[in-house]
Amino acid sequence: MNPVFFIALGLFGVYTIEFGVVGILPAIIERYTISTSQAGMLVGVFAIVIAFFGPFMVLLLSKVNRKKVLIACLFIFAGSSLLSAYAPNFYVLLILRMIPALFHPVYFSLAFVTAISLYSKEKATQASAKAFVGTSMGMVLGIPVTAYIQHQFSFEAAFIFCTLVNIAAGVGIAIVLPKPPKASKGSNGKQLGILRKAPLWINIGAATFIFAAMFSVYSYSAEYLEQVMGMSGKAVSVMLVLFGVGGVAGNLLAGRLIGINRVRTTVFQPIVLATSYFFLYLGEMSIAPIILIMILWGAVHTSGLIITQIWITSEAPEAPEFATGLYISFINLGVFIGSAAGGLFIDLLGMKGTLWSGLLFIVLALVCIVIKIFIFKQKT
């Protein structure tokens, strides 16, 4: 079996750990007798730990054998999930969330470097796209999957599901990864040297704003579909699944488009994202148009993953692991900023305010992209 399958399965596992907890927040609130805002810390703290510690963890472990690090990360994810299932109180659960957050950027960075190393240079982008299927599936399906398992079985079962997924990925990588990839030979000084690149920071700014735009809206997607689009809870679940289907297709398509022209694809993504927000702004409509809108939204939202990753790492080919560590840290910062801004705009402007927040960050992202193209002469 292709090793990229198990690499992607591990990405699905870790992103289900990060976002799947949203699907069982009501059960967590009831189990530990806490407020909704306290429960929300389980997502916010995870993202903040990644944002602040991600690059340093990647730098620390980038010289260790990749295969061993990948397997170790997956078993750390599995262990923390298993312990989370039986956490005696909320604060223990919060601490157990911080452990996988520390190793999340390490697995993410090395997973993509490893996946690309298994293909020729011409097919590197397609390799990233295949691995990103696991990421997109975890981000868009992790919430409904964990919610379904918790409702059908138990609170513990939702965490045990994450445990089993990560164990399966770890065992698969141990068996089918052809040979241990060589550790990075670059010095820490060389890797840190990429931080002196002004174009890299422009790219980081664009990626951070794109994710802020994405999660200004997606963080409140269920409430928006209910309140503005007039859907029932069951219909919302179906629409989020369609969002995920569109996301997988969009991710694979983006991988091909980037290979043809990276700059045009990067410019195109936030513009189409803004278009999907315009259609959502129109509000309640018949079933056929909303299905098409959800697929479009899912496709353009999820394609932002691979597009922003390539946009950043292409600027620092001499330090791919560290550049990817920076990427995962700043997009999580974008998730945090976007979610907070979306909530603020809702308080000020009502439910549709979340779309205005998303559009604001899209404009900021496009400003960064235009600066990169015309001032720093970004190549295709």
Residues in the chain: 380
Tell whether 177 and 195 lie within a shared domain.
no
CB-based contact 119:223 (threshold 8 Å): no
Tell whether 4 and 106 lie within a shared domain.
yes
**Rounded to the nearest 10 degrees, what angle do helices 66-85 and 90-117 cross at?**
150
Tell whether 144 and 59 lie within a shared domain.
yes
pLDDT score of 185 more than 60: no
**Predicted confidence (pLDDT) per residue in 76-121, tens digit:** 999 999 999 999 999 999 999 999 999 998 998 888 888 888 877 7
Tell whether 162 and 238 lie within a shared domain.
no
Q: Is 271 exposed, middle or buried (0-12, 13-18, 19+ CB in 10 A)?
A: exposed
Tell whether 231 and 349 lie within a shared domain.
yes
Query: What average pLDDT does range 210-227 have in this prediction?
Result: 85
Tell whether 316 and 173 lie within a shared domain.
no
Among the candidates 150, 185, 220, a domain finishes at 185
CB-based contact 299:246 (threshold 8 Å): yes
Higher-confidence position of 118 and 172: 172
Q: Is the dihedral of CA 315, 200, 100, 17 positive or negative?
A: negative
Which residues span the domain enclosing 110? 1-185
With b meaning 16 or more CB within 10 Å and e meaning fewer, what string describes 60-94?
ebbbeebbebbbbbbbbbbbbbbbbbebeebeebb
Q: Could you give the CA distance from residue 340 to residue 344 in angstroms, rounded to a whole number?
A: 6
**Rounded to the nearest 10 degrees, what angle do helices 262-281 and 233-260 cross at?**
160
Tell whether 50 and 142 lie within a shared domain.
yes
Q: How many distinct structural domains can be found in the chain? A: 2
Among the candidates 185, 215, 241, a domain finishes at 185
CB-based contact 359:213 (threshold 8 Å): yes
**Predicted confidence (pLDDT) per residue in 194-216, tens digit:** 888 888 999 999 999 999 999 88
Tell whether 106 and 210 lie within a shared domain.
no
What's residue 182's pLDDT?
A: 56
* Residue reference for tokens 């994710």: 211
Among the candidates 126, 155, 185, a domain finishes at 185
Tell whether 112 and 181 lie within a shared domain.
yes
* CATH code at position 275: 1.20.1250.20
**Predicted confidence (pLDDT) per residue in 240-298, tens digit:** 788 888 888 888 888 788 878 888 999 999 999 999 999 999 988 888 899 999 999 99
